[in-house]
Amino acid sequence: MAFSIQKLLIQAYMKWFPIPLPPPDSFKDQTVLVTGGTSGLGLAAAVHFVNLGAAEVIITSRNSARSKTALATIERETGGRSKGRVRVMDLDMSRYASVVAFAEEVKKINRGKGGIDTVVLNAGLSTVEPTRGEEGWDQNIQVNTLSTVLLALLLLPWMKAERANRSAPAHLAVVGSGRHLEPNIQEWKEWASETSLLEHFSKPENWPGSSMMYATTKLMAQYAVNELVKMALGPDGHPEVIINTMCPGLVASDLSRDLNKMGIVVALIAPIFLGIFAKSPSNGARTYMAACLTTESEHGKFIKFYSSDADYQEKADVVITGEDGREMQALVWSEMKAEFTAKVPETREILKL
Ligand X SMILES: NC(=O)c1ccc[n+]([C@@H]2O[C@H](COP(=O)([O-])OP(=O)(O)OC[C@H]3O[C@@H](n4cnc5c(N)ncnc54)[C@H](OP(=O)(O)O)[C@@H]3O)[C@@H](O)[C@H]2O)c1
Q: What residues line the site for ligand X (CB under 6 A)?
A: 36-42, 62-63, 66, 91-94, 122-125, 143, 175, 177, 247-248, 250-251, 253-255, 281
The one-letter code for the residue type at 55 is A
CB of 79 to ligand X, least distance (A): 23
Residue placing its CB nearer to ligand X in the complex, 121 or 192: 121
CB of 154 to ligand X, least distance (A): 15
Residue placing its CB nearer to ligand X in the complex, 52 or 221: 221
Residue placing its CB nearer to ligand X in the complex, 142 or 347: 142
CA 219 to chain centre: 11
232 half-sphere exposure, CB direction, 13 A CA radius: 27
Q: d(Cα 147, Cα 187) in Å, to the nearest integer?
A: 25
**b/e sequence 69-97, b meaning 16+ C-beta within 10 Å:** ebbebbbebbeeebeebbebbebbbbbbe
- What's the sign of the alpha-carbon dihedral 332, 335, 341, 346? negative
> Are residues 352 and 106 in contact, defined by beta-carbon separation less than 8 angstroms?
no
CB of 167 to ligand X, least distance (A): 30
> Are residues 75 and 83 in contact, defined by beta-carbon separation less than 8 angstroms?
yes
Residue placing its CB nearer to ligand X in the complex, 251 or 332: 251
Residue closest to ligand X (Cβ) = 40
Residue placing its CB nearer to ligand X in the complex, 241 or 251: 251
CB of 74 to ligand X, least distance (A): 13
Residue placing its CB nearer to ligand X in the complex, 122 or 202: 122
CB of 165 to ligand X, least distance (A): 29
CB of 128 to ligand X, least distance (A): 13
Residue 279 per-residue DSSP state? B
CB of 353 to ligand X, least distance (A): 27
CB of 63 to ligand X, least distance (A): 5
Residue placing its CB nearer to ligand X in the complex, 89 or 109: 89
Residue placing its CB nearer to ligand X in the complex, 31 or 35: 35
Q: d(Cα 322, Cα 299) in Å, to the nearest integer?
A: 20
Residue 243: strand pairing partners: 172
